[in-house]
Amino acid sequence: MGKYILTLIQEAAKFEMEIYNLYTLYSKLFINDSKFWNKIADEERNHAVIMQKSYSYLESDNKIFNQIIPNNILSIIDNKEKVDKLIIDFNKSHDRVFAFNLALLIETSLLESTYQKFMASNYESKDNILFQKLNGDEKDHIKRITQYMKVNNIPIISLG
How does residue 55 score in pLDDT terms, banded at 50, 70 and 90?
A: low
- Does residue 43 register a pLDDT over 80? yes
Candidates 18, 127, 138, 160; CA nearest to 76 is 18
The predicted pLDDT at position 48 comes to: 84
Candidates 138, 128, 129, 121; CA nearest to 63 is 128
From residue 146, give the alpha-carbon distance in Å to each of 14, 32, 101, 104, 117: 25, 16, 9, 8, 17
- Domains, the chain, ranges and CATH? 3-151 (1.20.1260.10)
Q: What's the length of the chain?
A: 160
Q: Taking CA 135 as the corner, what is the angle to CA 129 and CA 136, rounded to the nearest 5 degrees?
A: 85
Most confident segment among 40-44, 67-71, 73-77: 40-44
Could you give the residue ranges of the DSSP H alpha helices within the chain?
A: 3-29, 34-57, 63-68, 73-93, 96-107, 110-120, 126-135, 141-151
pLDDT above 90 covers a percentage of the chain that reads 29
- Does residue 73 register a pLDDT over 90? no
Handedness of CA 31, 32, 35, 36 (dihedral sign): negative
78/139 Cα distance (integer angstroms) = 23
The predicted pLDDT at position 69 comes to: 58
The predicted pLDDT at position 76 comes to: 72
Exposed e or buried b for every residue in 36-57, given b needs 16+ CB within 10 A? bbeebbebbbbbbebbbebbee
CB contact at 8 A, 67 and 125 = no
The average pLDDT across 21-48 equals 93
